[in-house]
């Protein structure tokens, strides 16, 4: 590719996370080369805080990940769907679940009240091990270890 072609912007159609629709977008001519230079997606589960930039724009999160997230901390208890302080789980390039948890600081214990998996997520023992490892990291962080 010639240097002058690198910065040409092209109109493209972007496919939604669920593959059901396309939306117009833009890409540089060398987008494939840029993608190849990215580091591999980490193969571990991460908990996202409710105000993480990935989640802050609900419409964008829904559009990119097909994940409808609403922080329910300010929602009356009877109207909550998932829980008071629910944290989404990011695995590779997908939001795979939501965990309703509570940290008991007096006991140094992280309680998982409920786990809500997204449709189509296969709950394998390998995935559960990755979630357990993420829970251990989060509990250590919250306990100040």
Question: What are the residue boundaries of the structural domains of the chain, listed by start?
Answer: 3-37, 45-142
pLDDT string in tens for the chain (145-residue length): 565 666 789 999 988 766 778 888 899 988 889 989 999 989 999 999 999 999 999 999 998 899 999 999 999 999 999 999 999 999 999 999 999 999 998 888 999 999 999 999 999 999 999 999 999 999 999 988 7
Q: What is the CA radius of gyration of the chain?
A: 19
Tokens of 112: 């998982």
Burial 62-99 (b: 16+ CB within 10 A, else e): eeebbbebebbeeeeeeeeebbebbbbbbbeebbbbbb
pTM: 0.79
Residues 6+ apart with CB under 8 A from 71: 50, 51, 55, 86
Place of tokens 């990940």: 65
């Amino acid at each position: 590719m010639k240097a002058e072609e690198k910065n040409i912007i092209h109109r493209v159609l972007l496919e939604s996370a669920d593959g059901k629709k396309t939306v117009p977008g833009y890409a540089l001519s060398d987008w494939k080369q840029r993608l190849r230079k990215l580091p591999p997606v980490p193969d571990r589960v991460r908990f996202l805080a409710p105000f993480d930039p990935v989640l802050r724009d609900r419409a964008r999160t829904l559009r990119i990940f097909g994940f409808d997230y609403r922080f329910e901390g300010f929602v009356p208890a009877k109207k909550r769907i998932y829980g008071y302080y629910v944290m989404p789980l990011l695995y590779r390039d997908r939001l795979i679940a939501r965990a309703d948890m509570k940290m008991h600081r007096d006991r140094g214990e992280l309680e998982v009240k409920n786990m809500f998996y997204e449709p189509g997520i296969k709950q394998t023992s390998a995935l559960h091990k990755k979630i357990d490892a993420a829970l251990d990291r989060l509990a250590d962080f919250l306990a100040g270890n």
